[in-house]
Chain A
Amino acid sequence: MADPLHRSLGLTDEELSKIIEILEREPNHLELAMYSVMWSEHCSYKSSRIHLKRLPTQGENVLVGPGENAGVIDVGDGIAIALRIESHNHPSYIEPYQGAATGVGGIIRDIFTMGARPIAIMDPLRFGPLEDARSRWVAEGVVSGISGYGNSVGVPNIGGEIVFDQTYLGNPLVNVLCVGIMPKERLVLGQASGVGNLAVLLGSTTGRDGIGGVSVLASAGFGNEEEDAEKRPSVQVGDPFEEKRLIEGCLELLNEGLVVGIQDLGGAGLACAASETASRGGVGMDFNVSAVPQRESGMQPFEIMTSESQERMLAIVTPENLEQVFSICSKWEIRSSVVGKVTPSGSLRIVSDFDGEVLGEVPASSLHEDAPLYQRPIREPDDMDDATADEATKLPKPERIEDDLLDLLTSPSWATSQYDSQLFLNTVVGPGSDAAVLRLKHPTSGVDTGRGLALTTDGNHRWCAVNPRIGTVMTVAESVLNLACVGAVPQALVNCLNFGNPENPIVMWQLSEAVDGMAESCNAFELPVIGGNVSLYNESQGTNIDPTPIVGVIGLIKELVAAPPGLSWNDGDRIILLGPEASGLCGSAWAFQKGHRRGSLEMVDFELHQRLCALTRSLVTERLVTGLHDISTGGLGVCAAEMAIDSDIGCTLARIPDHISFFSESSSRVLIAVNAERIPEVEDLADQYDVPYARMGLAHGDMFTVKDLLSIPVSDLQQKWNNRLADALDGGTAQE
């Protein structure tokens, strides 16, 4: 016997009972379809909400916190900044190009919905190993999707990360962050108010693409290939030109003060936009499905209401302003139709015409506010004690440490050179540095404030696999330090929590621990969490991905008079390590390379870390360093190698007795290059900030040498660094 309808739509029997309780009757197909998408994991956060409450969201600079389309902070000079991060993991595995492209489109709409002009994108990406053909296909498709859509829609892509690892073999991660800028007074919220006001649908036609995308795709794991291929029609198709006109048209509508509220259509389509705007405004809405411009004939009302066709917005407009709205839309060649009327009822009524048949009626707020909230079972893995005791320092030392180092070098430029990173003339530091840096210009006058915005995204599945709480703390600490390396003070954080199946108690334990780690570190760094996204069911054939919380942190640079130093050193510079001595190898890229995935992590010393960040900012601001780089994936070894590669100058380092201190990724460490004459000042400053330091060696020549450990030509490092991705992904045919 076939499954009952509610189950095939992804609703449980208990959820159906709750719907019957709310409606005091059986729902019809249309109503059930709307509940199924709105109550999906992706839209309702039903498994994670209970945990997310523990995150700190307050701050003096916070204008809008979590729960809106994007978080917004006040950065002074009358300027507000909107920030959001999202995942498009599931669609990108099924259809990489369109999955990634529509991820970019969706996040951009979230930003201009708030009234902000999107000024930059970043993409943290995770794929299966380069040796795997499907993973290469996914990676190539995702990168061209981001490039194809992002460049055309005209929002620069200023960085992110690209990581290849076995854990993402059947489930890549495609996260995307967007930042937007607006005059503070233009801030708008996605709500309908004023009975008699009209809901106007802007943009693309509504088709059958993406029906049930949030429930069928994003809220279930992957099984076998045949079933996955059947999900392909649930992936939406993007049109960057439509989106570009929507950006310009909507910003013009907002500038002219012609809309009361505006909401983008993303997951769960019209069902979500109509119910959220009505419910936020404390009103109801009559929604006329026949007025929705349709891409194909014979669409059922439930298809129209749940379609995830891209590049659509819902604007709430007073009847007096309607003609002007139509006129601006026509200038930008944007389709616009009145599809709804604001009513005092509190109900979302779907009608066949404004005075036609009522096809469905539900309390608008019930679609999201009454969504189920689950306290799912949590269980710490049984073998935690054994796992913790299993130290990676016990692994045999490498036979040829040079080879292990080479294996850890990967330049992201194969991907990032396909993105326009410079549009809008803001990009002072683009992809490939510790953090990206943008000039902060006033959004309407264009006047340069002389200050800078800095952005970084960070995530480390290895640390989080070993210990999700400390791993997350280390991730946030790394972000804060990345910002310090460009002289920026952190202002706010957004997160994308990528985890496995929440019905697995161990996955829920990982999520809960990660949230605790994030709360702990954000409290310590006084960093408000202004938004986030949770992506669950990242599993393939029953295997969950390593927990991968990704954070995006935005910082401010007080005086941006010159580009920050960057990674390069000069011939003759002294190389100094700031921070404590290395400890342990667990969770390091080197240990994972050897198949060692357990052990313990040392907790970040928040006070020391804060002092290190302050010292680093001073060194950058006072221009006391030639180059600098924080120590992270690959440890001191990869950090120094990347500096040598970037400078095209070698070095001789000492005080690195073994592979442990070479590859350890313990926190709170920065490698700096200093002109010999400035050493007393630098060391004085380090003393003042009470940060330990050690003189490590000298930048010179064309060999990368660590005394008693290894010596290798810088050109060999460069070769591996530059060619790894191009060789693997273009079949070795890439130019350059």
Chain B
Amino acid sequence: MSQKIGVVVFPGSNCEMDAMEAFSDLGASPRLLWHADRDIGGVDAVVIPGGFAHGDYLRPGAIARFSPAMEAIIDFAHNGGPVLGICNGFQVLTEAGLLPGALQKNAGLKFLCKEVELRVETTNSVLTNMAYEGQTLRIPINHFEGNFTCTDETLTKLQSNGQIILTYTENPNGSIANIAAICNAQRNVVGLMPHPERACHALLGSTDGRTLLESFIQGAHANV
């Protein structure tokens, strides 16, 4: 029985079909969840995809966190359910308080679409359990507000708990401590700025994203 992965759609989301395609190619059973529905339909894991939920108006993720589906997702996460936020999804998770820190404008004050190299810092998360520590992955980034920031106190906590799960080998956006992805203290909620779903097909240039998405499917399995 393959994992039921719910992909949340807000007005303004635009990577939902890409996430559907990538997870389905990897053998999972993804389905779309509408942001206005309180019921997330008994899924094994939740993905908040990239895009511009509610136009990113006010602040990326600032409005999306009030959607009815988010209440259910917060409960789901608190009960240990695997939740993955990609790009705009990462921004939503920080706004919703499921992940610490915030994402501000890139240091270059420009949108950036390019492939970057990531380093796996820990395999102890739902996103990296099938990778190995120190592994490098080539995955594209595609964002204007991907510059992760947090207080010194939070950073120390992230570091000492091993919550920094992926870092950039060459920092493209000014993120503090080269952070590309973090997880929560329980390690079931993860957010990353790069787009692993865009790196799952040889024709698209890289298949390194599969390691991360397969890990997440594995995490969903463990949750069942």
List A residues at the B interface (Cβ < 8 Å).
147-148, 151-154, 239-242, 244-245, 248, 331-333, 416-425, 427-428, 439, 446, 560, 562-563, 734-735
In contact, A419 and B111 (Cβ under 8 angstroms): yes
Partner of A420, one of B17, B113, B172, B205: B113
Interface-facing stretch out of B48-56, B74-82, B118-126:
B48-56
In the complex, per-residue mask of B25-47: 1 if CB is within 8 Å of any chain A CB, else 0: 00000000000100000000000
- What's the minimum C-beta distance from A237 to chain B, rounded to whole angstroms? 14
Partner of B11, one of A333, A420, A446: A333
Partner of B111, one of A331, A418, A439: A418
Interface residues of B in 184-218 (CB under 8 A from A): 195, 197-198, 200-205
In contact, A734 and B203 (Cβ under 8 angstroms): no
A-B contact pairs, 23 of them (CB 8 A): A147-B110, A151-B52, A151-B111, A152-B12, A242-B55, A244-B12, A244-B14, A245-B12, A417-B110, A418-B110, A420-B113, A421-B113, A422-B198, A422-B204, A423-B14, A425-B21, A425-B204, A428-B203, A446-B17, A562-B203, A563-B203, A563-B205, A734-B108
- What's the minimum C-beta distance from A89 to chain B, rounded to whole angstroms? 23
Bin chain B's interface residue count: 35 or more
List of B residues within 8 angstroms of A244 by Cβ = 11-12, 14, 52, 55
In contact, B55 and A241 (Cβ under 8 angstroms): yes
- What's the minimum C-beta distance from A143 to chain B, rounded to whole angstroms? 9
In contact, A735 and B204 (Cβ under 8 angstroms): no
- What's the minimum C-beta distance from B48 to chain A, rounded to whole angstroms? 15
List of B residues within 8 angstroms of A148 by Cβ = 111
In the complex, per-residue mask of B92-117: 1 if CB is within 8 Å of any chain A CB, else 0: 00000000000000011011111000
List of A residues within 8 angstroms of B11 by Cβ = 241, 244-245, 248, 332-333
List of A residues within 8 angstroms of B55 by Cβ = 152, 239-242, 244
- Is B22 part of the binding interface, using a Cβ–Cβ cutoff of 8 Å? yes
Query: A417-B114, A418-B112 in contact; A423/B56 too (CB < 8 A)?
Result: no
In contact, A423 and B18 (Cβ under 8 angstroms): yes
Residue of A nearest to B114 (CB): A417
- Is B57 part of the binding interface, using a Cβ–Cβ cutoff of 8 Å? yes
- Is B142 part of the binding interface, using a Cβ–Cβ cutoff of 8 Å? yes
- Extra pairs beyond A422-B142, A422-B195 (15, CB < 8 Å): A147-B110, A151-B52, A240-B55, A241-B52, A241-B54, A245-B12, A332-B11, A418-B110, A419-B111, A419-B113, A420-B142, A425-B201, A446-B17, A560-B203, A562-B202
In contact, B12 and A418 (Cβ under 8 angstroms): no
List of B residues within 8 angstroms of A153 by Cβ = 14
Query: A152-B56, A428-B204, A734-B108 in contact; A418/B113 too (CB < 8 A)?
Result: yes
Query: A154-B51, A240-B52, A560-B203 in contact; A422/B12 too (CB < 8 A)?
Result: no
List of A residues within 8 angstroms of B201 by Cβ = 425
Assembled-state Cα–Cα distance A245/B9 (Å): 12
Query: From DSSP, what is the main secondary structure of chain A's interface residues?
Result: mixed
Residue of A nearest to B11 (CB): A245
Assembled-state Cα–Cα distance A735/B55 (Å): 27
Residue of B nearest to A240 (CB): B55
List of B residues within 8 angstroms of A420 by Cβ = 111, 113, 142
- What's the minimum C-beta distance from A559 to chain B, rounded to whole angstroms? 12
- What's the minimum C-beta distance from B111 to chain A, rounded to whole angstroms? 5
List of A residues within 8 angstroms of B195 by Cβ = 422
Assembled-state Cα–Cα distance A423/B50 (Å): 10
- What's the minimum C-beta distance from B110 to chain A, rounded to whole angstroms? 6
List of B residues within 8 angstroms of A422 by Cβ = 113, 140, 142, 195, 198, 204
Q: Which 3 pairs of residues, A with B, have the shortest CB-CB distance?
A: A241-B55, A154-B14, A152-B52
- Is B15 part of the binding interface, using a Cβ–Cβ cutoff of 8 Å? yes
- What's the minimum C-beta distance from A121 to chain B, rounded to whole angstroms? 13
Residue of A nearest to B170 (CB): A736
Query: A154-B52, A245-B11, A424-B18 in contact; A439/B203 too (CB < 8 A)?
Result: yes
In contact, A446 and B112 (Cβ under 8 angstroms): no
Assembled-state Cα–Cα distance A259/B55 (Å): 27
Assembled-state Cα–Cα distance A735/B14 (Å): 28
In contact, A446 and B21 (Cβ under 8 angstroms): yes
In contact, A425 and B18 (Cβ under 8 angstroms): yes
Assembled-state Cα–Cα distance A346/B140 (Å): 55
Partner of A735, one of B107, B142, B205: B107
- What's the minimum C-beta distance from A709 to chain B, rounded to whole angstroms? 35
Residue of A nearest to B51 (CB): A154
- What's the minimum C-beta distance from A686 to chain B, rounded to whole angstroms? 29
List of B residues within 8 angstroms of A423 by Cβ = 14-15, 18, 142
In the complex, per-residue mask of B124-163: 1 if CB is within 8 Å of any chain A CB, else 0: 0000000000000000101010000000000000000000
Assembled-state Cα–Cα distance A240/B14 (Å): 12
List of B residues within 8 angstroms of A563 by Cβ = 203, 205
Residue of A nearest to B110 (CB): A418
Assembled-state Cα–Cα distance A583/B203 (Å): 39
Residue of A nearest to B171 (CB): A735
List of A residues within 8 angstroms of B203 by Cβ = 428, 439, 560, 562-563
In contact, A425 and B14 (Cβ under 8 angstroms): no
In contact, B108 and A735 (Cβ under 8 angstroms): yes
Residue of A nearest to B106 (CB): A735
Residue of B nearest to A418 (CB): B111
List of A residues within 8 angstroms of B14 by Cβ = 153-154, 244, 423
Partner of B198, one of A147, A154, A425, A734: A425
Assembled-state Cα–Cα distance A446/B21 (Å): 8
- What's the minimum C-beta distance from B61 to chain A, rounded to whole angstroms? 14
List of A residues within 8 angstroms of B54 by Cβ = 241
List of B residues within 8 angstroms of A248 by Cβ = 11
Query: A244-B11, A735-B107 in contact; A427/B204 too (CB < 8 A)?
Result: yes
List of B residues within 8 angstroms of A421 by Cβ = 113
Query: A241-B52, A425-B204, A427-B204 in contact; A417/B113 too (CB < 8 A)?
Result: yes
List of B residues within 8 angstroms of A446 by Cβ = 17, 21
Which residue, A153, A244, A423, has most C-beta atoms of chain B within 10 A?
A: A423
List of B residues within 8 angstroms of A428 by Cβ = 203-204
Residue of A nearest to B52 (CB): A152
List of A residues within 8 angstroms of B142 by Cβ = 151, 420, 422-423
